[in-house]
Amino acid sequence: MTSDEVFFKWLPDYSVNIKTIDDQHQELVNILNRLFVAVSRREGDKAIAGILDALTSYTRTHFALEERLMREARYKDLVPHMEEHRKLIAQLDELCNKHLMEEKPIYFEMLSFLKTWLREHIQGVDTQYSAALQQSGFSVATWEREATAEFARMSASRKWWEVWKAA
């Protein structure tokens, strides 16, 4: 992917200062950029199903891990944060259905929606929980070691990367 093909550039401002979460957010950005490349090369029809599957699967896996972190840290705004996650998954499902069932092109709608949502979510509520965890003294380092192994297990069971690499 060349610099001309980057739709959403990862910036240090997006960091939540938790390496595991930042790495996962960067992978979500990579998936979004892959969708952009497919659309810009007019390969959207061939690649969209695989990219949407990878995006949905990866997002669900990421959210599960992020929610586990907040639960273990006893984050006070866990329930509203989980509701935001639920709404995004519902919106993703709706866009996927629109494309797959109704055979409507959703490329630009999807790109715009995801870029805005991801940027605002990370810089908004994700930054808030990260700051709260750090202020509370929660051991993010210990959690990260466990989370890295768990994320690998979760990913292996979903095999999202096989679809992603093929897209």
Token pair for residue 94? 């709706």
- Residue pLDDT, tens place only, 50-79: 777 788 888 888 898 889 888 888 899 999
Cα–Cα dist 84/18, whole Å:
20
Neighbouring CB atoms inside 10 A of 126's CB total 22
> In 3-state terms, what secondary structure has residue 18?
coil
Q: Where are the domains of the chain?
A: 16-166
- Residue pLDDT, tens place only, 86-140: 999 998 888 878 877 766 677 788 888 889 988 998 999 899 988 888 888 888 7
User: Please, are residues 59 and 28 in contact by the beta-carbon 8 Å criterion?
Assistant: yes
pTM of the model as a whole? 0.81
CATH topology of domain 16-166: Four Helix Bundle (Hemerythrin (Met), subunit A) (1.20.120)
